[in-house]
Amino acid sequence: MLDDTIAAIATPLGEGGLAVVRLSGPQALAIADISFLPVGKNSLKPSVATTHTIHFGKIVRHGRSVDEVLLAVLRAPRTFTVEDTVEITCHGGLLPAKLVLDTLLESGARLAEPGEFTRRAFLNGRIDLTQAEAVADLIHSRTELALAAANEQLAGKLSQRINELRDEMMQTLAHVEAHIDFPDEDISPDTKERLLKRLERGVAFMDELLRTANEGQILRRGIRVAIVGRPNAGKSSLLNQLLGHDRAIVSPIPGTTRDTIEETANIRGLPVVFIDTAGLREARDEIEQEGVRRSHESLARAEFILHVLDASEPLTSAGEKYFAEFAGKKRILVVNKVDLPRKWSAEELVRQVGVQASACSPDNLKLELQRDVRAPERRSPARHETSKSSQQAVPEAGAPIVDVCCLSGQGMEALKDAIKELVWSGEIRAEMLQVMINSRHQDALNRARAATQRTLDVLRAGETLELAAGELRIAVNAVGEIVGKTTTEDLLDSIFSQFCIGK
Ligand SMILES: Nc1nc2c(ncn2[C@@H]2O[C@H](COP(=O)(O)OP(=O)(O)OP(=O)(O)O)[C@@H](O)[C@H]2O)c(=O)[nH]1
Ligand SMILES: [Mg+2]
């Protein structure tokens, strides 16, 4: 498969200033020679050009010029794919790039599959699997924080840790196997103790990596946050404030938003997908009914919710039933319209819907919300603390409460802080960014951890060393999968098919 030469358009389809067509493989220079006519005294045929030089000329197809281009000659092995590579920069727009590509295909290249350039970089040993995945993360990253994490992984920070782990496990395995080969020499208590210690260290390290999975997932995919509440509470106004532009229609007529609206915003470096929904109430007509149904659906699918309350409207018992529906979801209570005279106080909220005050501060009130709002026996007397310490004191069932005004934007910064705090379990430490694992790594690590644990159990129970070695080998292979030391065609297909063509 690496014998042939692949070509693809590397830039997005559509109109633009420039487009790049990429060619990689043993015949790259020969194919470029057929298609490219150098123009000017310094331009050369690709096959005689030195590496890392650029040449001006024309792409010629059936004797006719297709486009004026700049052609870069990149000779193996100092290229992304480790193969001879030619990059042709032509005019932007669909047609020039497509005609250049067609010319290359007619001259002997094969159209590349999605991610095939990166796959070759992996197969030729230029990058390992975590780095290949980082290339995709880099392309898809939606915030600078996500980009920073992808860059760290591309630089090989995760690979390094995984390789260290694997090396250590291999050494342990070699040790165990040596004792199998020489059964007369019994494993000494000292040696056994050392092996156990090493394996325990391995398990602890895997646990540390596994703890980054959640954050890794959030950075890569973003987190879904539904904005819910009664009609006219200011949900759409809140969406617009969080996005920083007028995305959703806002009007004083209750029931303005009927369909759900999804938009991604960068909240303190985290990609957050906000979903504005139709106001929750007994629907007046069929369309609104469908809107309310979708609201409930979004609510169910969201990882957490912003429940918007209107401070200028009395709390109603109708609203209470929604509190019950939201219970069990991570949530923030957003008290909106604080610029208007307030119709209810924190105490009233406590009485009406069963939230209890754990802390009050004038500008940023935080309350503790019971998971089951209708269980009065679970309520405890109000405690007063400063808002900062209360945030840490809020238990899992609790919900931070943030006052905002969506007309002026007041309280938005506090709300963004609260969102970050709720989404991100730990601190975003710089060294964490280096090793944000994805779900594939997580799966492999879980298998490796289980097998290592079984190895420990077998050794501790004094069972046969063959058994221990068998388990440990499973663990080593699972760890090897992460960087691609042990891999299958299917695994590679599933990873690289997620890439775009030309990458
Ligand atoms: N005074 C004041 N008015 C606000 C505030 N936020 C929103 N409004 C007004 O409240 C009305 C309803 O706002 P929307 O954002 O459309 O409310 P919604 O929750 O999306 O309403 P539906 O889509 O109908 O469910 C509009 O007239 C807004 O201008 C606020 O903080 N203060
Ligand atoms: Mg709305």
**Measured in angstroms, how far is the CA atom of residue 294 from the centroid of ligand 2?**
13
Q: How far is CA 455 from CA 190, 199, 335, in A?
A: 17, 8, 54
Predicted local confidence at residue 408, as pLDDT: 95
- Ligand 1 atom at shortest distance from the alpha carbon of 404: 31
Predicted local confidence at residue 427, as pLDDT: 52
- Return the structure tokens found at 419: 């969102």
State the alpha helices, DSSP H only, in 230-371: 235-243, 286-301, 317-326, 346-353
Query: What average pLDDT score do residues 464-478 get?
Result: 94
Predicted local confidence at residue 328, as pLDDT: 72
Residue 365 has pLDDT above 90, yes or no: no
State the alpha helices, DSSP H only, in 264-423: 286-301, 317-326, 346-353, 387-393, 412-423
Binning pLDDT at 50, 70 and 90, where does residue 72 land?
very high
Beta bridge partners of 53: 73
**Measured in angstroms, how far is the CA atom of residue 78 from the centroid of ligand 1?**
58
User: Are residues 450 and 207 in contact, defined by beta-carbon separation less than 8 angstroms?
Assistant: no
Is 113 or 13 the better-scoring residue by pLDDT?
113
| CA pair distance 97, 311, nearest whole angstrom | 57
Q: How far is CA 206 from CA 134, 168, 170, 196, 293, in A?
A: 20, 13, 15, 15, 42
| CA pair distance 247, 237, nearest whole angstrom | 9
Residue nearest (by alpha carbon) to ligand 1 atom 11:
252
3-state SS, one letter per residue, for 182-215: CCCCCCCHHHHHHHHHHHHHHHHHHHHHHCCHHH
| CA pair distance 478, 18, nearest whole angstrom | 43
Q: What percentage of the chain reaches a pLDDT higher than 70?
A: 85
Nearest in space to 68 (alpha carbons), one of 13, 141, 102, 19 = 19
Predicted local confidence at residue 23, as pLDDT: 97
Is 13 or 33 the better-scoring residue by pLDDT?
33
Nearest in space to 473 (alpha carbons), one of 234, 170, 215, 194 = 170
**Measured in angstroms, how far is the CA atom of residue 285 from the centroid of ligand 1?**
21
User: Are residues 153 and 162 in contact, defined by beta-carbon separation less than 8 angstroms?
Assistant: no
Residue 151 has pLDDT above 80, yes or no: yes
Residue 322 has pLDDT above 90, yes or no: no
- Measured from the alpha carbon of residue 234, the closest ligand is 1
Binning pLDDT at 50, 70 and 90, where does residue 45 land?
very high
Using CB atoms within 10 Å of the CB of residue 263, give its burial: 0 to 12 exposed, 13 to 18 middle, 19+ buried: middle
In a 13 Å sphere around the CA of 215, the CA atoms on its Cβ side amount to 25
- Ligand 1 atom at shortest distance from the alpha carbon of 237: 15
State which of 107-116, 261-270, 284-293 shows the largest mean pLDDT.
107-116
Give the number of other CB atoms < 10 A from CB of residue 318. 11
Query: Strand 18-24 to strand 6-9: parallel, antiparallel, or no bridges (unpaired)?
Result: antiparallel
| CA pair distance 328, 302, nearest whole angstrom | 12
Beta bridge partners of 86: 23, 73
Query: What average pLDDT score do residues 57-82 get?
Result: 96
Residue 360 has pLDDT above 70, yes or no: no
Residue nearest (by alpha carbon) to ligand 1 atom 30:
337
Nearest in space to 7 (alpha carbons), one of 122, 125, 113, 120 = 113
User: Are residues 101 and 502 in contact, defined by beta-carbon separation less than 8 angstroms?
Assistant: no
Nearest in space to 267 (alpha carbons), one of 172, 144, 167 = 144
Nearest in space to 459 (alpha carbons), one of 225, 224, 207, 198 = 198
CB under 6 Å to ligand 1: residues? 231-237, 250-252, 254-257, 278-279, 336-337, 339-340, 405-407
Residue 271 has pLDDT above 80, yes or no: yes
**Measured in angstroms, how far is the CA atom of residue 305 from the centroid of ligand 2?**
15
Beta bridge partners of 6: 24, 110
| CA pair distance 463, 476, nearest whole angstrom | 20
> Mind listing the pLDDT tens digit for each residue in 206-243?
998 998 887 888 888 888 999 998 899 999 999 999 99
